[in-house]
């Protein structure tokens, strides 16, 4: 006997949900904000291809995993998840279903064919530059082919993807991501990104402005411009001159209704005068900057190929703070890079004390195959990395808490973003990216309201509306 799907009627009789013809996709995203944005855009392409998004694997006909390769743990997560999905697929197939599994993102790019070999459950492997080919790849997979798409094509993937509908934009909320730049030419010796995302490419000004306008027309009030190296963005401006990110931000700030602009992630080497001046001049550009330094030791910075010294970084921070005194800084740190001595590590601690961060992300160095760091001698013992990371995180957490305490009693503008956990509350964001909880009567989602910070616990701030 062959398995045939039940008709809607027999499914209802059997007490099950009627299955419609619409295919359903579950998307799971790992990694950075650029993956979040890419998942949204792949979601748009799949909607155009007749799919509907669902939020459980059980309800899905297609499971799309958008992966991250930045550290070993991140990459290994993918294989353990694929192991679990293999069981689900077997069960589905036994019931006559045809569950498909696709792997996108940086693991897809880095491992390609190897994923198909290690994980027979996978039907499609698709790298970050070929997402516009996803519907065709799935169509081939439905014919029984196992597809691997990991080219770096000349065409712009975003041009090949459908525009996000106003409905989808509204569903995603009042704060949106917009990728303006992709890839990286910096080749820090620890990092996989230049290999998984390819060379630096900037999207053209007109495409970015059109996309920002569409977002704002659908109700978005805050846009975060994204790039692996966002401040390396450059392009031909409306005035015929070559623009950098500072000029782009100025242009976007002219869009009526766009009240907040942010950008991430920046490299210290690409923080030019025009971008610093934009922080000085534009109230729309939020006073928060993620500016990773990785280490405070010149020897380690050199070995990492960061191409600046610790002192140059500190001087840069001074210039940025002179332009925008209330700016909050966040950073990324790696401990235990090959050759890092106790003295090198202490230099990092000193730099952290000198800069004083509002937020930070810190990691033990993770060997990434194919990067120069992997072949370096003097790899640091795991126990040393653990001890250094704990000390570094204790210092950074204290700085973050102090930053929160310093906000007590202050009056700040909040962009109200989403309902709180409890129906009487609404959550907004301060200019410094802090989630702040206020009474739901303070305003509606999308409003900017003036509030006074009244209370703080370990993760959130609480505030009350101030009439102005």
| 252: nearest Cα among 288, 285, 287, 291 | 285
Q: Tell whether residue 468 is among the known ligand binding residues.
A: no
Instruction: Answer with the entry of ligand SF4, ligand F3S, ligand SAH, none that 272 interacts with (C-beta below 5 to 8 A by kind).
Output: none
Q: How many residues bind ligand SF4 (CB under 6 A)?
A: 10
Q: Is the dihedral of CA 409, 414, 416, 418 positive or negative?
A: negative
Q: Is 126 in the site for ligand F3S (CB under 6 A)?
A: no
Residue of the chain from 25, 42, 70, 453 that contacts ligand F3S (CB under 6 A)? 70
Instruction: Compute the distance between CA of residue 67 and CA of residue 28 in angstroms, rounded to an integer.
Output: 8
407 is in an annotated binding site: no
Cβ closer to ligand F3S: 193 or 355? 193
Using CB under 6 A, pick the residue from 81, 129, 164, 228 that binds ligand SF4. 228
* Residue 245, token pair as written in the block: 């990110």
SS3 190: coil
Dist CA 247 CA 224 (whole Å): 15
Binding window for ligand SAH (CB under 6 A); candidates: 35-43, 295-303, 360-368, 393-401:
360-368
Residue 456 interacting partner from ligand F3S, ligand SAH, ligand SF4, none (CB closer than 5 to 8 Å by kind): none
**In whole angstroms, what separates CA 232 from the centre of its chain?**
17
Q: What is the 8-class DSSP label of residue 294?
A: B
What span, in angstroms and rounded, lies between the C-alpha atoms of 140 and 126?
Answer: 13
Strand, coil or helix: 360 = strand
Near ligand F3S by CB under 6 A: residue from 25, 27, 32, 176: 32
Residue given tokens 């015929």 in the structure block: 240
In angstroms, the CA 406 to CA 403 distance is 5
**Which of these ranges, 58-66, 145-153, 191-199, 233-241, lies near ligand SF4 under the rule CB under 6 A?**
191-199
Q: CA angle at residue 426 from 424 to 432, to 5 degrees?
A: 150
Which range of residues in 62-70, 156-164, 326-334, 418-426 is near ligand F3S by CB under 6 A?
62-70
How far apart are the C-alpha atoms of 273 and 275, rounded to whole Å? 5
Segment lying near ligand F3S (by CB under 6 A), choices 64-72, 170-178, 322-330, 457-465 = 64-72
* Least separation in angstroms between CB 245 and ligand SF4: 15
Q: Which stretch binds ligand SAH (CB under 6 A): 207-215, 309-317, 346-354, 362-370?
A: 362-370
Q: Using CB under 6 A, which residues numbered 172 to 201 contact ligand F3S?
A: 192-193, 196-197
Provide the 8-state DSSP code for 256.
T
β-sheet bridge partners, residue 437: 427, 462
Interaction pattern, residues 367-406, with ligand SAH; x per rule: CB under 6 A? -x--------------------------------------
Site membership for ligand F3S, residue 69 (CB under 6 A): yes
As a whole number of angstroms, the distance between CA 227 and CA 79 comes to: 27
Question: Is residue 96 packed enough to be buried (19+ CB in 10 Å), middle (13-18) or exposed (0-12)?
Answer: exposed
Q: Does 331 bind ligand SF4 (CB under 6 A)?
A: no
3-state helix, strand, coil in the chain (%, to 5): 40, 20, 35
Helix (H) or strand (E) holding 334: strand 328-335
- The yes or no reply on residue 191 touching ligand SAH (CB under 6 A) is yes
194 binds, among ligand SAH, ligand F3S, ligand SF4, none (CB under 5 to 8 A by kind): ligand SF4
User: Using CB under 6 A as the criterion, which residues of the chain lie in contact with ligand SAH when the complex forms?
Assistant: 70-71, 190-191, 193, 228-229, 265, 267, 292, 294, 332, 334, 363, 365-366, 368
User: Using CB under 6 A as the criterion, which residues of the chain lie in contact with ligand SF4 when the complex forms?
Assistant: 184, 186-188, 191, 193-194, 228-229, 267
Residue numbering of the annotated binding site: 32, 68, 106, 184, 188, 191
């Amino acid at each position: 006997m062959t398995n045939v799907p039940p008709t809607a009627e027999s499914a209802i009789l059997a007490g099950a949900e009627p299955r419609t013809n619409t295919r359903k996709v579950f998307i799971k995203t790992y990694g950075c904000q650029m993956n979040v944005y890419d998942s949204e855009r792949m979601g748009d392409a799949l909607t155009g291809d007749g799919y509907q998004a669902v939020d459980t694997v059980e309800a899905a006909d297609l499971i799309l995993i958008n992966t991250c390769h930045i550290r070993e743990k991140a990459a290994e997560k993918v294989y353990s998840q694929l192991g679990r999905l293999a069981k689900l697929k077997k069960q589905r197939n036994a019931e006559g279903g045809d569950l498909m599994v696709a792997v996108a993102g940086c693991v897809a790019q880095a491992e390609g064919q190897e994923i198909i070999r290690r994980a027979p459950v996978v039907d499609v492997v698709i790298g970050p530059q070929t997402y516009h080919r996803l519907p065709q790849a799935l169509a081939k997979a439905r014919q029984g082919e196992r597809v691997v798409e990991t080219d770096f094509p000349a065409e712009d993937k975003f041009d090949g993807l459908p525009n996000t509908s106003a409905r989808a934009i509204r569903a995603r909320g009042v704060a949106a991501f917009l990728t303006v730049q992709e890839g990286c030419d910096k080749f820090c010796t620890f990092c996989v990104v230049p290999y998984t995302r390819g060379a630096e490419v900037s999207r053209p000004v007109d495409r970015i402005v059109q996309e920002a306008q569409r977002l704002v027309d659908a109700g978005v009030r805050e846009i975060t411009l994204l790039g692996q190296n966002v401040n390396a963005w450059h392009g031909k401006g409306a005035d015929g001159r070559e623009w950098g990110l500072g000029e782009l931000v100025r242009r976007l700030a002219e869009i009526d209704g766009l009240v907040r602009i942010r950008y991430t992630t920046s490299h210290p080497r690409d923080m030019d005068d025009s971008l610093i001046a934009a922080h000085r001049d534009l109230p729309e550009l939020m006073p928060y900057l993620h500016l990773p330094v990785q280490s405070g030791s010149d020897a380690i910075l050199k070995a990492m190929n960061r191409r600046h010294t610790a002192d140059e970084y500190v001087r840069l921070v001074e210039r940025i703070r002179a332009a925008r005194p209330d700016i909050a800084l966040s950073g990324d740190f790696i401990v235990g890079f090959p050759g890092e001595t106790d003295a090198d590590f202490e230099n990092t601690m000193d730099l952290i004390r000198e800069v004083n961060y509002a937020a930070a992300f810190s990691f033990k160095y993770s060997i990434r195959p194919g990067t120069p760091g992997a072949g370096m001698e003097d790899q640091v013992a795991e126990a040393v990395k653990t001890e250094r990371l704990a000390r570094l995180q204790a210092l950074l957490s204290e700085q973050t808490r102090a930053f929160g305490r310093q906000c007590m009693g202050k009056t700040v503008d909040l962009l109200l973003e989403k309902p709180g956990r409890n129906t009487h509350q609404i959550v907004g964001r301060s200019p410094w990216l802090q989630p702040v909880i206020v009474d739901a009567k303070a305003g509606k989602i999308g409003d900017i309201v003036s509030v006074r910070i009244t209370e703080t616990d370990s993760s959130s701030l609480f505030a009350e509306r101030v009439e102005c």
